[in-house]
Amino acid sequence: MPDVYRGIGIGVGIVVGPLVRMGRPPELPPASPVDDPAAEVERARQALAAVSADLTSRSAAATDPTATDILDALGMIAADPTLGDDVEQLVDVRTDAVHALHLLFARHRDTLAAAGGYLAERAQDLDDLRDRAVAVALGLPMPGIPDPGHPFVLAAHDLGPADTVGIDPSRVLALVTAQGGPTSHTAILARSLGLPCVVACTGVMDVVDGTTVAVDAEAGVVEAGVDGARRDELAEQARRLAAELAGQGDAESAAVVDAPSVALLLNIGAVADLDDVVDDRFEGVGLFRTEFLFLDRVDPPSFDEQRAAYRSVLSAAAGRKVVVRTLDAGADKPLPFMPVAPGPNPALGVRGLRIARQVPEVLVTQLEALAAAVADVDGAEAWVMAPMVATAEEASWFARRARRAGLDTVGVMVEVPAAALRAREILAEVDFVSIGSNDLAQYTFAADRMEGALWNLLDPWQPALLQLIAGCAAAGAELGKPVGLCGEAAADPALSPVFAGLGVTSLSMSARAVPLVRRALGARSLADCRRLAAQVVAAPSAEQARACAVAAVQAGSDVSPTRSQ
């Protein structure tokens, strides 16, 4: 009998393959007395050399240029000559190689963390290197993404940002984690790679390496120990579903006649994100983040530089709508040309439009450069919106400046609960709003987005979050103004019918997520979506809200033309 493990499914897709577990960071054993310090120093040095050699060879083997660069940089840090020198100082009668390595990385980690900004983000890399070096010194396998030499289902307790560069989507068939939630790093990664995924799958790390498992992302189920006939049956289901997903070109013919009309837009950070995605199904850009122009520089980008950057995006979008978000800098990412003191709590500090109100020149140049770029490109359709708006007065302030610069379609992001509660008053000042669901969840639940332990509060199925979104959509419908949604939740095919039913007019996501969301929306009528949305918002908990949607999928699967069983 196969063992069945249940969790929260991310995405759609069934895969059958051998499961391989990712090693846990090693536990630090008690220190052993040191008789021969020179030998301990040598043991620590050899561990560092082995880690460096492993990362450098993985860098050479990686096909993705970003992964190559990151692995190479990590390998160079492990080979840093100052680490070897420090080890000599740290080893003494009571500090063996393992503890010397541990102390060494802790010291450098603290230095980087204290430096703030970009360097603080690298602090986690040092934890990763420490775990690798300590494991080698203990004679254990190095933690990190395993490489069994064949395609496999990756099982882990949870995945962090440092793990993800080692994931080769041509080798990894699916992601399964015992911890994490629908907004965890694992889930975000799975959506961006288009991999089937099950998170919060308790007990799955007990499955022995090499066991054949079936992962059904839509159902949120991992079946371990599938054999002969069952294996063939699941493989056949997987093949059929894959063929169905690949046949997205025929989605219209399969879609129900009165499917909801929701624009599916893309989130981009630079013009390169539009390479290979602008075809006749491309509907536009729902979130163009402009931060890349501003980061890592001493002076703000000039009018001409910005104008050229916006022009290239508007040209690439070929007449489709592009929603441009003005600079979303924060106290956590200080920019030298925006003198804002880092407050005690950056997420609640002077960020987004709040900085623009203190230093308006940077915003005015950005708006004027965008307006000039619109004039440069025939048929360009640019919408502009401000981040981190809390009140109708702020929306009005921004709208006046944007219109003065010559921009016609002006909106704001809804990320703060105050803005969602006053969506009607805000929409009276602007032409549209776009809901940033990640920040809106964070601020509604007073739960840090990066705090993995709070994933259940950050679950986009939380009725309180959906109620705020419903209020925005209702205000938009009343005033006849568009209400879009960008953020992780927009890419979730299970949630998209709910948003459609609430009256959200566009969903913005990564290009890879579009086919699954399109399929989900094409399978239901608008009336069904509205019924589902009403049930979900009325549900007493996130779990029960999700259960409503699963029940609706199962009820609909008998009649839906896109399902074969």
Residues marked as catalytic: 185, 486
Q: Which is nearer to other proteins, 12 or 338 (CB)?
A: 338
The size of the interface with other proteins (CB under 8 A), counted in residues, is 26
- Residue with tokens 């990564």, as numbered in its chain: 510
Q: Which of 63, 82, 170, 565 binds other proteins (CB under 8 A)?
A: 82
Bridge partner residues of 177 (DSSP): 156
Give Dmax (Cα) for the chain.
79
Q: Which is nearer to other proteins, 64 or 258 (CB)?
A: 64
332 touches other proteins by CB under 8 A: no
186 touches other proteins by CB under 8 A: no
Nearest to 376 by CA among 322, 326, 312, 317: 312
SS3 for 268? Answer: strand
543 touches other proteins by CB under 8 A: no
Task: In angstroms, give the least distance from the CB of 17 to other proteins.
Answer: 33
Q: Within the chain, how many helices (H) and strands (E) appear?
A: 22, 16
Q: Which of 29, 141, 269, 336 binds other proteins (CB under 8 A)?
A: 336
Q: Which is nearer to other proteins, 219 or 270 (CB)?
A: 270
Q: Which is nearer to other proteins, 69 or 236 (CB)?
A: 69
119 touches other proteins by CB under 8 A: yes
SS (H, E, C) 382-421: EEEEECCCCCHHHHHHHHHHHHHCCCCEEEEEECCHHHHH
Q: Which of 56, 315, 365, 467 binds other proteins (CB under 8 A)?
A: 56
Residue 184 · residue 210 · CB < 8 Å: no
Q: Which of 31, 49, 50, 73 binds other proteins (CB under 8 A)?
A: 73
93 touches other proteins by CB under 8 A: no
Rounded to whole angstroms, the Cα distance separating 143 from 513 reads 30
Task: In angstroms, give the least distance from the CB of 80 to other proteins.
Answer: 5
63 touches other proteins by CB under 8 A: no
108 touches other proteins by CB under 8 A: yes
Task: In angstroms, give the least distance from the CB of 111 to other proteins.
Answer: 6
457 touches other proteins by CB under 8 A: no
Q: Residue 213 phi/psi, 5° resolution?
A: -125, 155
Cβ count within 10 A of residue 249: 9
Residue 48 · residue 64 · CB < 8 Å: no
> 391 burial class (0-12, 13-18, 19+ CB within 10 angstroms)?
middle
Restricted to residues 234-253, the positions that interact with other proteins (CB under 8 A) are none
The one segment of 31-39, 79-87, 400-408, 517-525 that binds other proteins by CB under 8 A: 79-87
Q: Which of 76, 375, 477, 538 binds other proteins (CB under 8 A)?
A: 76
111 touches other proteins by CB under 8 A: yes
Rounded to whole angstroms, the Cα distance separating 1 from 274 reads 48
52 touches other proteins by CB under 8 A: no
Task: In angstroms, give the least distance from the CB of 296 to other proteins.
Answer: 5
Amino acid identity, position 196: P
106 touches other proteins by CB under 8 A: no
The one segment of 7-15, 106-114, 345-353, 431-439 that binds other proteins by CB under 8 A: 106-114
Q: Which of 239, 297, 400, 404 binds other proteins (CB under 8 A)?
A: 297
Q: Which of 33, 81, 139, 149 binds other proteins (CB under 8 A)?
A: 81
Q: Which of 3, 42, 72, 332 binds other proteins (CB under 8 A)?
A: 72
Order of strands, sheet of 3-6, starting from the edge strand that comes earlier in the sequence: 3-6, 221-224, 212-216, 14-21, 152-156, 172-177, 197-199, 8-10
118 touches other proteins by CB under 8 A: yes
Task: In angstroms, give the least distance from the CB of 330 to other proteins.
Answer: 18
Query: DSSP secondary structure string, 426-464?
Result: HHHHSSEEEEEHHHHHHHHHT--TT-GGGHHHH-TT-HH
292 touches other proteins by CB under 8 A: no
138 touches other proteins by CB under 8 A: no
**Taking the chain, what is the end-to-end CA distance rounded to the nearest angstrom?**
24
Give the rounded distance of the alpha carbon of 268 from its chain centre: 13
Task: In angstroms, give the least distance from the CB of 125 to other proteins.
Answer: 10
- Residue with tokens 């399978």, as numbered in its chain: 523
Rounded to whole angstroms, the Cα distance separating 103 from 548 reads 50
SS3 for 210? Answer: coil
Q: Which of 83, 384, 388, 407 binds other proteins (CB under 8 A)?
A: 83
Q: Which is nearer to other proteins, 34 or 83 (CB)?
A: 83
80 touches other proteins by CB under 8 A: yes
Q: Which is nearer to other proteins, 79 or 428 (CB)?
A: 79
Residue 162 · residue 205 · CB < 8 Å: no
Rounded to whole angstroms, the Cα distance separating 482 from 469 reads 13
Residue 323 · residue 383 · CB < 8 Å: yes
Task: In angstroms, give the least distance from the CB of 73 to other proteins.
Answer: 6
Task: In angstroms, give the least distance from the CB of 466 to other proteins.
Answer: 40
Residues in the chain: 565
Residues that bind other proteins (CB under 8 A): 56, 59-60, 69, 72-73, 76-77, 79-83, 108, 111-112, 115, 117-119, 122, 296-299, 336
